Amino acid sequence: MTGGSVVLVATPIGNLGDLSPRARDVLGSADVVCCEDTRRTRALLVACGLPSNPSRLVSLHGHNEASRVPEVLDWVRRGKTVAVVSDAGTPTVSDPGRRLVSAAAAAGLAVTAVPGPSAVLMALSVSGLDTERFCVEGFVARRGPERRRLFERLASAQSTAVLLEAPGRVAGLLAELHGALGDRPVAVCRELTKLHEEVWRGSLGEAAEEFTAREILGEVVIVLGKAIRREPADDDVRAAVRARLEAGDTPRTAAQSVADELGVPRRRAYREALDQRDADSGRSAPGGSPGRR
């Protein structure tokens, strides 16, 4: 029997009205619904008037996904439609499902999705920060090398970053980010689409002070602005050009290298290279009279 598929279904992150008609159709007709938490998914199906019999609901979460994959692939090969949901939002985005999708795709099985609610995309869109380039860092490691490497990436990141954190650790994370990165814009988004939705916008320093002073409830998404790239000082450009010229580069080659290295306009580096070349030529000329050639 053929025609089975894996269907990733985005489910509400708070407001049940966000479940799309197509998502309702798929969840109502799927042969199997793989759930991060069967209890939460059953409650969703009941609230939406959809079939919620236990035989349709199968657990698939971070602890059992790898062992569950062969069974799910067998269902699909036998022609079954397997819907995959997480507790809320879009599966595989900081939620289980990635291993299953990878395995199904590698096996040549059909994989599709019903797009919809996403805390990550909603927080990003309402943050007011740059959305041209962004990176989803997901849940922040509590300690150790992984946390340190995250801060190192963020220190120079030229893209907006989306972080997820438990309510009780938000204040500490904001304070640590401020200490490590200095001030940059941030949006702290809480309880998105729910009754007490809040989107707080300001600087990291202000955020650390604000959220240390009050209790934080509900799911939290932090959207962090990209690193502020400061224009290198003239002395830095001058020294970098000097090093390239002394290494034997022509002014043109030196300018390109310095522009790439320091992120300055090539024209600025080339002008400095010509000035230094002319100054060197003037010092070496008889009588020491400078002059541009």
From first to last of its 293 residues, the chain has per-residue pLDDT tens of 458 999 999 999 999 999 999 999 999 999 999 999 999 999 999 999 999 998 999 999 999 999 999 999 999 999 999 999 999 999 999 899 999 999 999 999 999 999 999 999 999 999 999 999 999 999 999 989 999 999 999 998 989 999 999 999 999 999 999 999 999 999 999 999 999 999 999 999 999 999 998 889 888 999 999 987 767 788 888 999 999 999 989 999 999 998 888 878 889 889 989 988 888 877 665 554 444 43
> Could you tell me which of 191, 136, 195, 144 has the C-alpha nearest to residue 162?
136
Strands (E), 118-205: 134-139, 160-165, 185-190, 198-203
Tell me what pLDDT residue 128 has.
96
**Burial class for 191, CB neighbours closer than 10 Å (0-12, 13-18, 19+):** middle
Give the three-class secondary structure for 157: coil
Q: Which two tokens stand for residue 116?
A: 């919809």
Q: DSSP states of 225-273 as a string?
A: PPP--PPPPHHHHHHHHHHHHHTT--HHHHHHHHHHHH---HHHHHHHH
pLDDT computed for residue 284 by the predictor: 63
- Of the candidates 65, 63, 56, the residue with the CA atom closest to the CA atom of residue 100: 65
Helix 98-106 × helix 65-77 angle, to 10°: 40
Give 30-89 as a DSSP string.
-SEEEESSHHHHHHHHHHTT----GGGEEE--TTTHHHHHHHHHHHHHTT-EEEEE-SSB
- Which residues, listed in sequence order, are joined to residue 89 by a DSSP beta bridge? 11
Second-level CATH architecture of 5-117: 3-Layer(aba) Sandwich (3.40)
Which residue in 243, 230, 289 sits closest to 269, CA to CA?
A: 243
- Does CATH place domain 120-224 in 3.30.950.10? yes
Cα separation, 138 vs 161, whole angstroms: 9
Q: What residues contact 24, with CB distance under 8 A and at least 6 apart?
A: 48, 50
